[in-house]
Amino acid sequence: MHIAIAGNIGCGKTTLTKMLAKRYGWEPRFEPVDVNPYLEDFYKDMSRWSFNLQIYFLNKRFKDVVEISKATDRTIIQDRTIFEGVYVFAANNRKMGNMDQRDYETYMGLFESMMEVVEMPELMIYLRSSVPHLVKNIQKRGRDYEQKMPLGYLEGINNLYEDFIMNKYKGKVLIVEVDNLDFEHN
């Protein structure tokens, strides 16, 4: 079984993924943020590094989803999916002008080719959060490169997540409002 945790930066995806994996003995898959060679550069110059960052994530997420499809004997819980990378993050970078049309079309062509072998998770848990809540969590987490992230970037991602979950994603979704939850401590 494949379960995915979706949501904006700082909403608690990694925390919930770890907790559910530990509680139920599921195999966790995490977004490769700590080893991503483009992430810090992206936050310094979004328009220069947007395409590189999105291709890096697309490649990693595609490898993950192929491996997940082969794991028929266990449950895997994944922190962010290939679908969010495309319909939320790449779309946001295109919308903000960080990725030009040529690069976006190249990226989407690659994604569409990948979709010939990709299946949706059996369940996507969407952690819905307000931007002020996200900012508080991002500050608490303390990654230097995230601290100067433009609010417009987070707001754009939030808006695209709503559109993605409500209009584009065709799989099963459980929406969890996280602004007033502390599932890590309670």
Residue 48: the pLDDT is: 96
Bridge partners of residue 78, in order along the sequence: 4, 29
Select from 67, 58, 66, 65 the least CA-distant residue to 87: 58
CB 7 within 8 Å of CB 127: yes
Q: Is the pLDDT of residue 34 over 80?
A: no
C-alpha distances (whole Å) from 80 to each of 45, 56, 161 are: 23, 14, 12
Positions marked catalytic: 79
Contact 89, 50 (CB under 8 A): no
Nearest-angstrom CA–CA distance, 97 and 99: 5
Higher pLDDT, 126 or 153: 126
Q: How far out from the chain centre does Cα 6 lie?
A: 6
User: Looking at residue 26, what DSSP letter applies?
Assistant: P
Interaxial angle between packed helices 131-141 and 151-163, expressed in degrees from 0 to 180 and rounded to the nearest 10: 120
Q: Which amino acid is at 63?
A: K
Question: What is the structure's pLDDT at 121?
Answer: 95
Kindly state the average pLDDT of the residues 5-34. 90
Strands 123-128 and 2-6: parallel
Question: pLDDT-based confidence at 166, cuts 50/70/90?
Answer: very high
Q: What is the pLDDT of residue 136?
A: 86
